[in-house]
Structure 1
Amino acid sequence: MQAEQKREMVKALQAKINAMQGFGKMPEEPVTDGLMPFSSAFPGNVFPTGAIHEFISYEPVEAASTSGFISALAGSFMKPGSLCLWIAKEKMIFPPALKQFGIEPDRMIFIKVLKPKDTLWTIEEALKCEALTAVIGEVKELGFTESRRLQLAVEQSGVTAFIHRFRPFAENATACTARWKITPLASSPEEGLPGLGHSCWDVQLLKVRNGSPHSWPVTWAGGCFRPLVEKQFSAQTQHARNAG
């Protein structure tokens, strides 16, 4: 057996193992560049699409930053013509602002659902639709059984799910592939330019299956994530503390 055939067999086997472990279908062209530096924390240095990513926030400012970060993540791998659903009790996103994260407003469909039980059902049904690229769902509580149902849905469809839990009663165990927490960092305008600077976040990957939990201070600039150098991060952290 030639070396190339062996590599293809190993690649196919790894894809099956990843799917069984909650990493969804291995895409034909794995997304790496647009999702750096986060890809390095996952198996094979590939950011898992076709999987469930869980986000936890407790304060309104954290929730707003989390929504912005999720938008940037989704925009990083949405191709022209892709569709994304945003399912929540209230629409807190200003659609034209999505363009800065690489998402055309008409590519995002907002669904307003009032009851938590109906929200979970809507998310699950959306995740079964292979015509979608991503589904963003806002819920407070997510049990293991409910999360497992969502995981089974994405394993079949290959749709990526971002579940944002605001002020949950507990950070309980779920079947999600990764758990994140996003904290805002103060932005600083570019030298010589007025107004606000680019969005900045302290990104914490709290849990990841078969990967390495990590944290990154990053900014969104030029249509991609960029790491903040230590000097920038220290200055922005100090600015945030002084503002608080």
Structure 2
Amino acid sequence: MSAQKADIIAQLQKDILLLQGLRPACNSGVVDVGLGPVKNAFPGATFPTGAIHEFVSEAAEHAAASAGFISGLLGALMQNGSVCLWISTSGTIFPPALKAFGIEPDRVFFITLQREKDVLWAMEEALKCEGLAAVVGEVRELDFTASRRLQLAVEQSRATGFVLRHQPRRLHATACTSRWRITPLASQLEARMPGMGFPRWQVELLKVRNGRPGTWAMEWFAGKFRQVGEHTMVAPQQPVRKIV
């Protein structure tokens, strides 16, 4: 491929991202969330901030693993002293546990509501606030219209949204930038060390806009993510399927 054609393709890719609401951050605004090789799955090898990320879970332990993984991302996004909102109908997060991911619990505002429709409304309104680093919303169902409203909100504020969906009935197409599935892996102790090993997850990036889905084994170690094992599998786009 000639250099001229490569430049044209690169410019077209940038134009498509702009049309989809993904504006490139200036160098001073780029946040390295420490995902290691996972970041190469995203356009420009940069985790998209100012975007909506969808996490799906099928069992309680998967939901807990997703919450832990998201907390690791939040720790990086909140390094400048900003705060975030965590909105749900259950309030199952144990705030002191967030310290393991570098987050002071008093910088996370937990909001517990009665109905999921109220969670989505509160999340949309919160994502319009430029003073927030991120907003996490726990809902079961998310249709394209609701996800598009969330995406439009972050395009103005540049906050980052995380939608944690536990046991969704169906996985419809959404306007979210990415869709993840996080499942727990057995931890391993360091040689001759007592206690428990570091949290480990199987990280599946099921879809990513203009990126490359894949699967990685990751671990939370010394305040950051690191890959465990030697192999990284890049997977094709996952089909939309029904979760029973």
TM-score range (shorter-chain normalised) is 0.7 to 0.9
Deviation at 1:29, TM superposition (A): 3.1
Question: What's 1:60 paired with?
Answer: 60
Query: Structure 1, unaligned stretches of length 5 or more?
Result: 1-6, 232-244
Question: What's 2:227 paired with?
Answer: 227
Identify which range, 71-80 or 104-113, moves more after superposition: 71-80
Question: What's 1:238 paired with?
Answer: none
Determine what percentage of the aligned residue pairs are the same residue: 55
Deviation at 1:33, TM superposition (A): 6.1
Matches within 5 A, 1:162-201: 162-201=162-201
Deviation at 1:22, TM superposition (A): 3.6
Question: What's 2:19 paired with?
Answer: 20
Structure 2: which amino acid aligns with 1:57? S
SS at match of 2:34: helix
Matches within 5 A, 1:1-244: 14=14, 17-24=16-23, 26-27=25-26, 28-32=28-32, 34-230=34-230
Give, in whole Å, the separation in 2 of the partners of 1:227 and 1:47. Answer: 16
Decide whether the 8 Å contact of 1:25 with 1:155 is kept in 2. Answer: no
Give, in whole Å, the separation in 2 of the partners of 1:70 and 1:160. Answer: 11
Over aligned residue pairs, what C-alpha RMSD do you find? Answer: 2.0
Q: Deviations over 1:8-33 (max 9, x none)?
A: xx99x94x753432435625332236
Q: Deviations over 1:41-61 (max 9, x none)?
A: 011111101100000001001
Structure 2: which amino acid aligns with 1:23? L
Deviation at 1:100, TM superposition (A): 1.2
Decide whether the 8 Å contact of 1:34 with 1:77 is kept in 2. Answer: no
TM-score scaled by length of structure 1:
0.85
Decide whether the 8 Å contact of 2:204 with 2:216 is kept in 1. Answer: yes
CA gap 1:80/1:30 in 2 versus in 1, 3 angstroms = closer
Deviation at 1:230, TM superposition (A): 4.1
Identify which range, 26-35 or 81-90, moves more after superposition: 26-35
Query: Structure 2, unaligned stretches of length 5 or more?
Result: 1-6, 232-244
* Matched residue count: 221
Deviation at 1:172, TM superposition (A): 0.6
Give, in whole Å, the separation in 2 of the partners of 1:84 and 1:18. Answer: 26
